[in-house]
Each structure stands twice: as C-alpha cells, then as structure tokens.
Amino acid sequence: MIEARGLIYRYDPDDAPVLEQVSLEIPEGQYVAIIGPNGCGKTTLVKHFNALLVPQEGEVLVDGLSTKDPKAHREIRRRVGMVFQNPDNQIVGMSVEEDVAFGPGNLGLAPAEIRGRVGVALETVGMLRLAKRAPHSLSGGEKRLVAIAGVLAMRPAYVVLDEPTSYLDPAGRERVLNVLGDLRQEGISVIHVSHSMDEIVDADRVVVMSEGRVLRDGPPRDVFREADVLRAVGLNTPQVTELMWRLRAHGCGVRQDVLSVEEAFQEISALIATGTGCRR
Amino acid sequence: MKTLPLGQFVPGDSPVHRLDPRVKILSALLLSIVILNAGLAESIAVTMFLLAAAALSGLSARRITEALQPLVWFFAILFCLHLFFTDGRPIFPALPAVTYEGLERGLSVTWQFVSLVVSAAILTMTTAPSELVGGLEKLLRPFNRFGVPSYDIAIMVSVSLRFVPTLLEEVERMKEAQEARGADFASGSLVRRLKKMATLVIPLVLCTFRRADELALAMEGRGYHRGPRTYLRELKFTRIDYAALFAVMAFLVGVEALRFLPV
C-alpha cells in the first residue's frame, strides 16, 4: 500500500504550496487514475510515490517504508516504478534490451537473471522483436513501451505513469493502454496520470486533483456523474457521458452515469424502442 | 536518420566481429604503439597485418576508404608540410625545398596516420558501441582501487553515445523551426553561416540541460547509484580470444624485434 498523509509540498518557500494536505491510500493491485487540470500538482504528487520528492510536511509510506528515510529509497524505487512523460529522456541504453537491463543492473543481479527479466519485460510490452534496435530508431509509441519495460524489469508492485499516451497516434495509444490492462491482470498497481477521460473509464478509482488538493476520489461512475464539478475546474467527462448529459438536458430519460459506448448504445436504443422520446 | 558516419558499427558475424571487445581494444592500442615507432620494414609488416584484419572482418574496401575520406585534406596537408619543410638533398635542382628526406618523412608520417585511422575504423566498425563501452569498462575495472571510477565512466560514455542521434535530431528540428520563421542557414560566407549557427547553440544547450535533468531523475528512479553494477552481458574470454590476443602480441613483438636484426 502507498499511503500519503497530510502531504504538503512547495517548490519555493515563498510560493503557495503545490500540494496542500493531500491524503491518499493506494492498495496493492488497484488501478488508479489521477486527473486534474495542468498545474494541479498531479506530477508533483506522483513523484512523491517513489521518493524522487520527499514531503516537506506529512509523510509518504510505501509498504510501510517512509520516503523520508534515505536508506529506504533504493527499496522504494524498486517497488514503485515510474514512467515519465517524455520517453526520450528516460532511455539510457544504446539498445532496447540494454536499456531494459539498466534497472536490474543497478540492483546488481547476475547476467542470467537480468537476461530472464529483460525477456519477460519485453514480452509483456510486445517489444521482444525489437530488442536489438537503437532507441532513436523507434516510434514514439515504441519508445513509451520500452520505458515501461525498463520499469517492469525491476519487478515493481506499483507502476506510476505520467500521461503515458500523450503525443501517440491511435495505434500507439491502444498498445500502451493494452499493456496497462495486462499489468492490472497481473496484479500490479497502475497509477495512471491522464488528461484523457475516455481512457480511464475502466479504472478502479479516479482521483480528481485541483489546486493541490484531492477534489473527488471514487469509482469512475460516481466521479463522472458530477460533470458540473469537473467542468468547474476545467476538466470534461468521457464523450459518452457528455452525450448522456446533453440528452438529459433535452428532457430524455437516460441514465447519467454512462461510461462506455456499449452502455450508451443500450440507453439510446431503449429510448427508441419504447418510443418515449424526449419531452421538448 | 542522422548518425555520425565516421567508423560507424557495421553489424556482421565475421571472426573479428565475434572477438571479445577487449582483445580488439588492446590490439588496436598495441598496434598504435608499433605504428608510431615504425621504420620501413615494420611499416610493411603492419600494413599486411591491417590488410589481413580488414579481410577477416568482412568489411569492404569501400567502407574503409569512406572512413578515411573526411581526413583526406588533413593527410594531404600533413604530407606537403613534411615534403616542403624538411632539410636535405633536393630532388629537383629547380625546387630546393623538395627533398628526398622530405619525401620519405612525408610518406612515413602520412602512412602512420592512415594506419592509425584504419585500425581504429576496423575496431569501431566491427564492435557495437555498447560492446566497446563494456570492454573499456572491464579493462579499467582493475584500476578501481586506484580511484578510477570505471562504472561511472562507462555510464557517462554510453549515455553520451546514446544521446548523439537524439541531439542531432533536435538541432535539425530547431533549424527547421527557425527556417520556418525566415532564418537562412544555407547562404552567405562561411563566417556568416557560422554566426547564424550561434542562434542554434543557445537553445540546444538549454534543451540539453533540461534533458540531463530529467534523465538524472529517471535514472535515479530506476535505482541508479555510483559504483559497481552488473550487465546484461558479462564479457568472458573464450579460448579463441586468448589465442587471438596471443597471436597479435606475438606478431607485434616479432615486428619490433625486426629492429634488432642485423640487416
């Protein structure tokens, strides 16, 4: 479990805090989406999860280890893998497989063990075929997958991803999201920072951040029902939820908490079948 | 895709490709010592050695001359300097500056540089950069106790090599961004063009610092620490490597011994 308790952080002592009293618990195995407008403190928050930032007030515990203890940093970083926004700036190796081997090498594992882990990690993200390639010759989506594999080779219990689908084409985005689904299947916690509401509707839980605080925290259905709350802080809802909202505003009897195209289809076809139509 | 053309790795499966990188690095090092001390007989022996190595490595003559090409002017100037500025017996009575001794020095010094470049090219063309770094690291490892941080040097070198293509791409992007706003890098005198290039240097340096910052965070996040670490491939000498290293050393010692033969 990752626990943040009363977390306060400011980059500059004179500025307003970026994080103001954030408390959050993320149990092992949960798929958590963190959303919020730019500058709301999402990235700052997740950097606390693997001790890249240390709380100025409050504390962060990873499986009981406090990030304030420098001696625990190595173990915390092994347990909590972090995939940053720009894959170009986190690929260290001169080839795909060597990059994935970087983390295990830092752990001092034997070459045979490293080879095994590199194989499994590349298999998981579907990049085994490109193991020998140079990083700069890969597409954006492939680089992102290599960055994820590099983290997986550490056998983390939690993987934090900061906007893992930004700048990707639809195919690349699909591949990354599928890999995140696979991680979830394997029981790894995924902490997914996102700007796209549509890609997080399947999360176990959505945390909405605004101005350094947790604004809402709950299952996607509950969070997205409150479209007005989200809109007030500059966020939107998944497109189908938006559609339902508009239909209701039009006087149609559809559910508000619809998240998938499938559900929306059922609602609308029921509307047509019963012929009730909309009052207006 | 932009890369550095000089001595770029050519993937292959030749006997030279398969040698342990340390054998190749040490051979190139020893060879350069012999080259820099070579007289005529040694030169011939070393040239034959390089030709044999090139043939064994399966590199085409074209590849190797390509590595020499960017240095042609350097070789030419080097040769001329020695040809014209060495005292001795004139070859042509009308041109007293050009001497027999100058011709000999010029040929010998130019040959030395050509041989050094060729041996370095064979090394880098048959050894993947990562292997080269790995070999270097392992050769330096015994000096750890004297304060040589072999692991850190290896990371520094490999990260630099990794980012060369990325930074070249970045320069290209910045150039295009400035050209799109009317900058003109293609015309004007050499000095003017260099001056214009300055507008690329500042953003490039800033970008590189930002990258370095993020890279440091990412490396830390993946458990990086100074000092010992392990690798995907731990280099190991095979019998062939020992044999090859022995053969190269025996040959070079033999060549050096030629000097002491009464001719």
Q: Identify whether residues B191 and B259 lie together within a single domain.
A: no
Q: Which backbone phi and psi does A218 adopt, to 5 degrees? A: 180, -175
Cβ A106–B233 below 8 Å, yes or no?
no
What values do phi and psi take at B46, rounded to 5?
Answer: -65, -40
B195 touches chain A (CB under 8 A): no
Query: What does DSSP assign to residue B85?
Result: S
Residue B95: how many other CB atoms lie within 10 Å: 10
Residue A38 lies in a domain: yes
Q: What is the mean pLDDT of residues B239-260?
A: 90
Domain assignment of residue A76, yes or no: yes
Tell me whether residues A88 and B211 touch, CB distance under 8 A.
Answer: yes
Longest distance between any two alpha carbons in chain B, whole Å: 74
Among residues 199-228 of chain B, which lie with CB inside 8 Å of chain A? 211, 214-215, 217-225, 228
Where in the sequence is the domain holding B137, given as residue range(s)? 9-148+235-263
Number of domains chain B is built from: 2
| Cβ A178 vs Cβ A125: under 8 Å | no
Same domain, B95 and B206: no
Same domain assignment for residues B61 and B110: yes
Kindly state whether residue B2 falls inside one of the protein's structural domains.
no
pLDDT in tens, B126-175: 998 889 999 999 999 999 999 999 999 999 999 998 898 889 888 998 88
More reliable by pLDDT, B231 or B263:
B231
Cβ-nearest to A106 among B129, B225, B234: B225
pLDDT at res. B234: 85
Q: What range defines the domain where residue A33 resides?
A: 2-220
Lowest mean pLDDT among A43-52, B7-16, B234-243, B247-256: B7-16
Residues B240 and B167 in one domain: no
| Statement to judge: residues B49 and B118 lie in one domain | yes
Q: Identify whether residues B63 and B142 lie together within a single domain.
A: yes
Contact residues, chain B, for A88 at CB < 8 Å: 166, 211
Indicate which CATH number applies to the domain containing A39: 3.40.50.300
- B222 and B128 part of one domain: no
pLDDT tens column, B66-122: 889 889 999 999 999 999 988 888 888 888 888 899 999 999 999 999 999 999 999
The ipTM value here is 0.84
Are residues B82 and B126 located together in one domain of the fold?
Answer: yes
What's the CA gap between A187 and B253, in Å, rounded?
Answer: 62
Q: CB A91 to CB B162 under 8 A?
A: yes
Q: Does the pLDDT at position B263 exceed 70?
A: no
Token pair 């709380």 in the structure block, residue: A55
Report yes or no: A193 and A203 within 8 Å, Cβ to Cβ: no
SS3 category, B187: coil
Number of structural domains (chain A) is 1
Do A224 and A197 form a contact (C-beta atoms < 8 A)? yes
B122 and B222 part of one domain: no
Q: Give me the sheet containing A213-218, strands edge to edge.
A: A80-83, A158-162, A189-194, A31-35, A205-210, A213-218
